[in-house]
Every structure is written in structure tokens, then in C-alpha cells.
Amino acid sequence: MEMLIIAKFTCSYNEWKTIYDGDLELRQQFMKDDLVGKVNENTAMIKATIIDPEKMEKLMSERIPEIAPKLGLEHEMYTLTNMQN
């Protein structure tokens, strides 16, 4: 499943990105081919292929409460589909 995630935070982009990069092994358990784009100093876009949605839900329900208060982190999640012509 292809997803687009909008991450909004009150910390700097660099602080958020350091934590995101540090969670590589965690992310590899449920996603692959992730791409990150800086929207502005307090927003990033993540496009990824989710390979195990159940594991993502479980791991993120544990990890996000650990980091969200410090970063002022919120996510908007969207499922992407190919357009058929």
C-alpha cells in the first residue's frame, strides 16, 4: 500500500529528521522505499510503501507517544492509488 504522510511539528525540521533517521530499523519492519521532502521548517512529507499495516499500527502506537510531546508532532495519513486511464 502506498501512503503519503504529512508530518507537522513544532520543533525544527532538522530535529525531526534526526529522530526520523534514527528510527530506520523500526520503519524497515513495516515500510520500504520511503522518500522524505521538506515542506517548510515545521512540516515534512513522507511517501512510502507500507508492507505490513498491522505492524505499522502496533509499532507506531508505541513509538509516537514517546516522541510526539517533545516534537509537537502530528500526522495526516493518506492512501495513494494509481489512476487508471
Q: Is the pLDDT of residue 85 over 80?
A: no
- Residue 20 in domain: yes
Question: For residue 27, what are the domain limits?
Answer: 2-80
What's the mean pLDDT when you consider all of the chain? Answer: 96
CA angle 65/37/67 to nearest 5° reads 10
Q: Residue 15 domain-assigned?
A: yes
Classified as helix, coil or strand, 58 is helix
Look up the pTM and report it: 0.89
**The total number of structural domains that make up the chain:** 1
36 in a domain, yes or no? yes
What CATH number corresponds to the domain at position 56?
Answer: 3.30.70.100
Q: Give the strand order in the sheet containing 31-40.
A: 31-40, 43-50, 2-8, 74-80
Split at pLDDT 50, 70, 90, the class of 6 is: very high
| Residue 85 domain-assigned (yes or no) | no
Query: Long-range pairs for 25-30 at CB < 8 Å and ≥24 separation?
Result: 26/59, 26/63, 29/55, 29/59, 30/55, 30/56, 30/59
